[in-house]
């Protein structure tokens, strides 16, 4: 890498790939360079990362505050915009109570911003109404990990351990398109003699790499995991020494698995019994095994139990708490891990502390210099918060999120946003959500500010400022500082990210996610530091659970679970299953990537993927418009015919707004534990649509 380049990290997914930024004289102020020294991606970048600097160009992003005048957003100065926001928040709280003011954050915010946003909500606003879009990412995996291991960290081991496993089961993940640099670890696994099993209703680019591809019906991953555990028990492949020495709760879990006999599982999932047996043999014959889940099994109304079933498979075979084995979750958003550790979630305080724990409240309140009794209690989860807009919650501040596109049942959510008395949005671009706002605040981007992120391994990394932002743009930390001052809290909300991080370290000290021993200097010197890291002399913890699990007795807990149908099964009116996901060239709601010409050229718009047999029954040819109809909405989009999907299932990517929005259909039914909506399975019908013109 050129010595003049700034060492930093990609603004997109949770790999947080290392990259260099070199200043240029053109409209795009920096050029992206490879950074081979960073161990996670070793210089490799996907198309999104390589083109990330394009969103820094003036024409792609917001450069001045906007306020709504006579129904239109018009440029304004910062003092006016901040006065309007502060006045609206204060006026709403005075008229309707503090919980009538809401805050909705984002999984792409730095640790410093996420931490300060949680503090801003609870101290400056005094509201319990805060959550964030990371609730839609890996909350089910987090809940399952906590109840099994006592701790939630996406991967309890570094990605470099994955190629050393004997067999990896990848469930509902498509990293070949969502985080391409990760694929090298899967290839290295196979080069080392390991086997890869991919579980996905579609034969994705990742599934094409697999030694075995299992294609269950959407919403049946839980039954699949139970069927595999049944065969493990029936074939005598359990690790009885590990079960006896390092776990509790096996008898109930064993009984639950034995109730899911293989023929039943075959009928529920559509996975042929011989494939099920082959998967069990591959996993159990390997010297070590890993199960990695992603949004497929997690974004279900039974997502927590589904992940628990896969964890049970690991525990029963002794594939946990030992080198090159275990369960892990592939976090999606750039700071999905750190974003929930430090206070954006409705029920959490910094350090992954519980908001209803008196000791946790006392510790954090002491750091914040407030009375613990003044801190509000737990609030609503993300969808429940959005569903309450315009009724219980009357004013909302959104920071770094685009729920108009990303939330389930999105037409309803859009209606709730429109019903607000006041909406303020702080973002990099004029997203679909920002376009509805009364005030829009233009935020600095990744290359224009310094801050930390926590990647999918639990590695805390440092994004460094490489270029000055445009004159009319401010950091979210600056926004919170000035709003807090206007609300009577002139102290306690610094704008210097390192000062915020130092306070975060103190607030997290002694918590589950302990950052006390992590500093900017250490991160820079060590290519990141793994939490927990309780002191400056502590080496960090790249590998968890090797000696004991994070439960009171040090043992992992089995959780008996039972398969149950999706919240919305196909019927005569809606006979087809819809599942959703991403494509290679776009990211999340597309708010940023849809502004990059080369990415739009590769993925210009939405489509519905369906099997040729289903298309033949409809009389639809490839490329022709198809209407996708659910109980919640109707979209018209081109058909993309492929044999890579089940004939009873269709797929839509969720990166586009308006009529192309896949989340018009997705079901907001919530997991009872994680409060995750059921994005991955709903019932639809397909109809021929007239050609435009």
Q: Write out the DSSP string of 661-690.
A: -GGGT-EEEE-TTT--EETT-EEEEEEE-P
Give the confidence band of 691 by pLDDT, cuts at 50, 70, 90. low
- Give me the sheet containing 195-199, strands edge to edge: 212-214, 195-199, 167-171, 289-293, 326-329
Tokens 């990742």 belong to residue: 206
pLDDT digits (tens, 9 = 90+) for 511-570: 999 999 999 999 999 999 999 999 999 999 999 999 999 999 999 999 999 999 999 999
So what's the pLDDT on residue 679? 96
Q: How far apart are alpha carbons 289 and 277 in whole angstroms?
A: 16
The CATH number for 26's domain is: 2.20.25
Q: What is the pLDDT of residue 4?
A: 79
pLDDT on residue 659: 87
The closest of 93, 75, 20, 9 to 456, measured between CA atoms, is: 9
| pLDDT of 693 over the 80 cut | no
Contact residues for 408 (Cβ-Cβ < 8 A; gap 6+): 136, 383, 663, 666, 667, 668, 677, 678, 679
Tell me the per-residue pLDDT of 290-322, one tens digit each, with 9 for 90 and over: 999 999 999 999 999 999 999 999 999 999 999
**Same structural domain, 297 and 194:** yes
pLDDT at position 1 over 50: no
Once rounded to an integer, what is the mean pLDDT over residues 430-449?
Answer: 97
pLDDT at 546: 97
Q: Is residue 545 part of a domain?
A: no
Is the four-CA dihedral 466, 132, 416, 661 of positive or negative sign?
positive
Residues 18 and 92 in one domain: no
Residues 385 and 422 in one domain: yes
**CATH number, domain with residue 295:** 3.40.228.10
For residue range 629-640, what is the model confidence (pLDDT) as tens digits? 999 999 999 999
- Residue 690's pLDDT band (cuts 50, 70, 90): confident
Owning domain of residue 41: 6-60
The share of the chain scoring above pLDDT 90, in percent, equals 95
Residue spans of alpha helices (H) in 77-210: 78-96, 111-119, 139-149, 175-178, 183-191
Q: Is the pLDDT of residue 59 over 90?
A: no
Q: Does 54 fall in a domain?
A: yes
In 409-464, beta strands by DSSP E? 422-427, 439-442, 451-454, 459-463
CA 588 distance to own-chain centroid:
9
CATH of the domain at 489: 3.40.50.740
In the predicted structure, residue 692 carries a pLDDT above the cut 80:
no
Task: Give the burial class of 647: count Cβ atoms within 10 A of its Cβ; 0-12 exposed, 13-18 middle, 19 or more buried.
Answer: middle
Question: Do 394 and 476 fall into the same domain?
Answer: yes
Q: Tokens at residue 32, please?
A: 């992206």
Task: Judge whether residue 145 has pLDDT over 50.
Answer: yes
- Assess contact for 18 and 338: CB atoms under 8 A: no
Output the CA angle 311-568-254, nearest 5 degrees.
Answer: 25
Residue with tokens 């597309």: 590
- Angstrom distance (rounded) from CA 100 to CA 387: 13
**173, 318: one domain:** yes
The rounded percent of the chain whose pLDDT value lies above 70 is 99
Cβ-contact 106, 78 below 8 angstroms: no
Specify whether 46 is located in the same domain as 77: no
Average pLDDT of the segment spanning 176-194: 97
The whole model's pTM is what?
0.96
User: pLDDT at residue 506 above 70?
Assistant: yes
**Residues 138, 332: contact at Cβ < 8 Å?**
yes
Average pLDDT, the chain: 96
Task: State the DSSP code for 123.
Answer: I
Q: CB under 8 Å, gap of 24 or more: what pairs does 493-497 form?
A: 493/116, 493/119, 493/120, 493/124, 497/110, 497/112, 497/449, 497/450, 497/451, 497/452
Q: Is residue 53 part of a domain?
A: yes
Record the tokens describing residue 463, joined without a space.
Answer: 């994004």
The answer to which of 219-233, 456-470, 581-595 has the lowest mean pLDDT is 581-595
> Above 80 in pLDDT, residue 359?
yes
Q: Are 443 and 477 in contact (CB under 8 A)?
A: no
Rounded Cα gap, residues 142 and 674, in angstroms:
8
Return the pLDDT at 3. 54
Within this chain, do residues 29 and 126 fall inside the same structural domain, yes or no? no
pLDDT at 332 over 90: no
Do 180 and 149 share a domain, yes or no?
yes
Residue 100 has pLDDT above 80, yes or no: yes
288 and 357 co-located in one domain: no
Check whether residue 113 and residue 222 sit in a common domain.
no
Shared-domain flag, residues 590 and 499: no
Confirm whether 548 is domain-assigned.
no
- Tell whether 525 and 663 lie within a shared domain: no
pLDDT tens track for 371-417: 999 999 999 999 999 999 999 999 999 999 999 999 999 999 999 99
Region 264-271: mean pLDDT is: 98
Domain boundary residue among 276, 299, 329?
Answer: 329
Pull the structure tokens for residue 277.
């047996």
């Amino acid at each position: 890498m050129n010595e003049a380049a700034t060492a930093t990290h990609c603004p997109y997914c949770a790999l947080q790939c290392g990259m260099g930024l070199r200043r240029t004289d053109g409209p795009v102020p920096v050029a992206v360079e490879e950074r081979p020294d960073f161990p996670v991606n070793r210089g490799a970048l996907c198309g999104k990362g390589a083109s990330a600097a394009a969103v820094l160009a003036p024409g792609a992003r917001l450069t001045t505050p906007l306020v709504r005048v006579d129904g239109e957003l018009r440029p304004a100065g910062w003092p006016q915009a901040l006065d309007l926001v502060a006045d609206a928040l204060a006026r709403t709280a005075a008229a309707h109570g503090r919980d009538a003011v809401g805050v909705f954050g984002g999984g792409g915010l730095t640790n410093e911003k996420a931490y300060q946003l949680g503090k801003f909500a609870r101290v400056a606003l005094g509201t319990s109404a805060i959550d964030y879009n990371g609730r839609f990412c890996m909350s089910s995996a987090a809940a399952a990990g906590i109840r099994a291991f006592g701790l939630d960290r996406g991967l309890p081991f570094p990605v470099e351990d994955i190629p050393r496993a004997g067999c990896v089961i990848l469930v509902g993940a498509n990293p070949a398109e969502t985080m391409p640099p990760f694929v090298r670890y899967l290839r290295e696994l196979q080069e080392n003699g390991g086997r890869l099993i991919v579980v996905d209703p579609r034969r994705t680019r990742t599934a094409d790499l697999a030694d075995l591809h299992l294609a269950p019906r959407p919403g049946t991953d839980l039954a699949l995991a139970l069927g595999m555990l049944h065969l493990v028990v029936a074939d005598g492949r359990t690790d009885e020494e590990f079960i006896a020495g390092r776990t509790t709760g096996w008898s109930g879990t064993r009984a639950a698995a034995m109730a899911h006999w293989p023929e039943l599982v075959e009928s529920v999932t559509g996975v042929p019994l011989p494939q099920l047996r082959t998967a069990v043999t591959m996993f159990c014959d390997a010297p070590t095994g890993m199960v990695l889940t992603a949004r497929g099994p997690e974004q279900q109304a039974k997502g927590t139990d589904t992940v628990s079933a896969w964890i049970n498979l690991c525990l029963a075979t002794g594939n946990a708490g030992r080198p090159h084995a275990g369960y892990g979750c592939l976090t999606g958003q750039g700071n999905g891990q750190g974003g929930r550790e430090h206070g954006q979630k409705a029920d959490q305080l910094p350090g992954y502390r519980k908001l209803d724990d008196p000791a946790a409240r006392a510790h954090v309140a002491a750091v914040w210099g407030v009375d613990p009794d003044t801190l509000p209690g737990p609030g609503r989860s993300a969808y429940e918060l959005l569903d309450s807009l315009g009724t219980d919650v009357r004013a909302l501040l959104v920071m770094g999120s685009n729920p108009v596109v990303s939330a389930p049942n999105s037409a309803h959510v859009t209606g709730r946003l429109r019903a607000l008395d006041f909406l303020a949005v702080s973002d990099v671009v004029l997203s679909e959500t920002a376009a509805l706002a009364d005030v829009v605040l233009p935020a600095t981007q990744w290359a224009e500010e310094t801050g930390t992120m926590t990647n999918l391994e639990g590695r805390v990394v440092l994004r460094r400022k490489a270029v000055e932002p445009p004159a009319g743009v401010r950091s979210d930390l600056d926004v919170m500082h000035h709003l807090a001052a206007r609300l009577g809290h002139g102290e306690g909300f610094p704008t210097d990210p390192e000062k915020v991080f130092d306070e975060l370290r103190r607030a997290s000290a002694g918590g589950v996610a302990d950052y006390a021993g992590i500093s900017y200097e250490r991160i820079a010197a060590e290519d990141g530091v793994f939490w927990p890291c309780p002191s400056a002399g502590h080496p960090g913890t790249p590998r968890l659970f090797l000696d004991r699990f994070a439960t009171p007795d040090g043992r992992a807990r089995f959780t008996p679970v039972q398969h149950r149908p999706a919240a919305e099964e196909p019927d005569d009116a809606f006979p087809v299953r819809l599942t959703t996901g991403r494509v290679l060239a776009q990211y999340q709601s597309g708010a940023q990537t849809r502004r990059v010409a080369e990415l739009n050229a590769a993925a210009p718009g939405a489509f519905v993927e369906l099997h040729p047999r289903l298309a033949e029954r409809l009389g639809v040819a490839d490329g022709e418009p198809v209407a996708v109809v659910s109980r919640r909405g109707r979209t018209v989009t081109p058909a993309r015919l492929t044999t890579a999907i089940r004939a009873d299932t269709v797929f839509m990517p969720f990166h586009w707004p308006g009529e192309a929005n896949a989340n018009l259909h997705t079901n907001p039914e919530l997991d009872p534990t994680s409060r995750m909506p059921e994005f991955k399975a709903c019932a639809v019908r397909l109809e021929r649509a007239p050609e435009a013109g």
